[in-house]
């Protein structure tokens, strides 16, 4: 955590009562922060949890408002563990991913919570959370800072598609109800400029960050797969392209690489069928979500075949642990790879992905470890969890100052 140098303090000597003590700066105001988001899953959930915990530790009062129908037992356990530390409470109710009449019920519930808890900050995460946090009525005397972090969300839809045009129009309207944008990547900030347009609202990029303990090396398991995929089981994550790449390696190179697939999602059944249709049933093993370091320990290389991303935690976590990686060149992933970005693979290209996987698997082990260590060092310098939390708090304060609040 970046800690500012303490102000010089001259302690008075009893024999010299005229020696003064340098004045201390005024303490930062304690915030009352309500984080609003939909699904307690994935990188967005991890981001909110990390930020909330650090804000609580810094003395701020925090609450969470999210969906009750997703996340399963793991989310329930995590949220129940955090709940006693949430001064503004944990509020969960059913929310739909896409627009739905039930959104009106959620908005009314959020408005009531805001009137009771009187937050100084309403921070919306993701498309649905950003919608609710910016539309929620607060009452005549309340004027919380309204912050928005997209986490990809509506900005990941294909430009030019009807849904993309609709969501960009909504983002343009909601900008009028936004005090500060805290984009998690330069990529998403650029998408906002390109498809929503210029804004007079405060804009900051606050990169996702990870903790120092996540840079500890991972002890490899005894029985390992060649590859591991960790993430949601849906087509947008490029999993079918990964399966096609494996089939190509078997068909064109005679290589039967093994793959561990860790995750869950709406396309689970379809993806399992795709594996069977490609004749890969003996090479691919599906397992439910589990701690990422445990999954990484069981494979030589992690593959990220995504078609769209913002700044994915799964890559930050794997890179920090010096796990060899093959990834597509989408979203903010080049921001994580930095100097190593030229090695990224075009999305939707099974042939290119197969070649990249083969190069990494067949690479000299020492060279492979060296490249992974270099990426880990780059991530350590640029993606700090504590800095993420500090920059978010600074964004709230700057937004409040910018609109002239006391």
**Are residues 204 and 254 part of one domain?**
no
Evaluate whether residue 17 is within a structural domain. Answer: no
Residue 369 burial (CB count, 10 A): 13
**Are residues 270 and 136 part of one domain?**
no
Phi, psi of 271 (to 5 degrees): -70, -35
Tokens of 353: 């992905």
**Are residues 341 and 220 part of one domain?**
yes
**What residues have CB less than 8 Å from 362, skipping those under 6 apart?**
none
**Are residues 187 and 54 part of one domain?**
yes
* pLDDT per position as a tens digit, 141-168: 889 999 999 998 889 888 989 999 999 9
**Are residues 101 and 187 part of one domain?**
yes
Q: Based on the number of CB atoms within 10 Å of its own CB, is 200 exposed (0-12), middle (13-18) or buried (19 or more)?
A: exposed
Taking only Cα atoms into account, the Rg of the chain, rounded to an integer number of angstroms, comes to 23
**Are residues 231 and 149 part of one domain?**
no
Phi, psi of 107 (to 5 degrees): -65, -40
Q: What long-range pairs does 231-234 form, CB within 8 A, spacing at least 24?
A: 231/42, 231/262, 231/263, 231/304, 231/306, 231/314, 232/41, 232/42, 232/263, 232/264, 232/265, 233/261, 233/263, 233/264, 233/265, 233/266, 233/267, 233/268, 233/271, 234/265, 234/266, 234/267
Evaluate whether residue 15 is within a structural domain. Answer: no
How remote is the C-alpha of 250 from its chain's centroid?
34
Tokens of 137: 């009525």
- Per-residue pLDDT at 175 exceeds 50: yes
**Are residues 288 and 235 part of one domain?**
yes
62 with 89: CB under 8 angstroms? no
Instruction: Count up the domains in the chain and report the number.
Output: 2
pTM of the model: 0.88
Percentage of residues in the chain having pLDDT higher than 90: 85
The domain containing residue 197 runs over which residues? 32-209+385-402
- For tokens 């964004």, name the residue: 395
**Are residues 252 and 114 part of one domain?**
no
* pLDDT per position as a tens digit, 371-405: 999 999 999 999 999 999 999 999 999 999 998 77
CATH of the domain at 335: 3.40.50.2000
């Amino acid at each position: 955590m970046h800690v500012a140098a303490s102000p010089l303090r001259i302690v008075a000597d009893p024999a010299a009562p005229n020696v003064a003590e340098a004045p201390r700066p005024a303490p930062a105001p304690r915030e009352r922060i309500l984080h609003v988001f939909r699904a307690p899953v994935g990188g967005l959930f991890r981001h909110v949890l990390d930020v909330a915990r650090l804000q609580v530790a810094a003395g701020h009062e925090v609450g969470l408002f999210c969906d009750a129908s997703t996340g399963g037992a793991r989310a329930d356990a995590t949220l129940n563990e955090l709940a006693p530390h949430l001064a503004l409470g944990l509020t969960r109710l059913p929310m739909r991913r896409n627009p739905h009449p039930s959104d009106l019920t959620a908005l009314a519930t959020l408005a009531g919570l805001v009137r009771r808890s009187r937050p100084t900050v309403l921070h919306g995460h993701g498309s649905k959370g950003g919608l609710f946090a910016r539309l929620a009525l607060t009452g005549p005397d309340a004027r919380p800072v309204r912050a928005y972090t997209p986490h990809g969300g509506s900005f990941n839809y294909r430009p030019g598609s009807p849904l993309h045009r609709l969501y960009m129009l909504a983002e343009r309207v909601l900008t009028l109800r936004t005090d500060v944008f805290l984009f998690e990547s330069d990529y998403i900030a650029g998408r906002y400029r390109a498809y929503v347009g210029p804004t007079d609202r405060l804009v900051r990029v606050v990169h996702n960050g990870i903790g120092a303990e996540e840079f500890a090396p991972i002890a490899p398991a005894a029985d390992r797969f060649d590859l591991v995929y960790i993430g949601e089981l849906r087509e947008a994550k490029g999993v079918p392209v990964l399966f096609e790449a494996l089939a190509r390696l078997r068909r064109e190179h005679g290589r039967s690489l093994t793959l561990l697939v860790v995750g869950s999602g709406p396309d689970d059944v379809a993806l399992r069928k795709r594996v069977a249709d490609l004749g890969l049933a003996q090479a691919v093993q599906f397992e439910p979500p589990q701690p990422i370091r445990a999954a990484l320990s069981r494979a030589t290389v992690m593959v990220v075949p995504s078609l769209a991303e913002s700044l994915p935690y799964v890559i930050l976590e794997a890179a920090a642990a010096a796990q060899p990686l093959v990834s597509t060149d989408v979203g903010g992933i080049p921001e994580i790879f930095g100097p190593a970005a030229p090695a990224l693979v075009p999305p939707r290209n099974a042939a290119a992905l197969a070649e990249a996987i083969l190069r990494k698997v067949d690479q000299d082990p020492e060279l492979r470890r060296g490249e992974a260590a270099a990426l880990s060092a780059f991530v350590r310098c640029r993606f700090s969890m504590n800095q993420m939390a500090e920059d978010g708090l600074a964004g709230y304060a700057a937004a409040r100052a910018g609109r002239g609040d006391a």
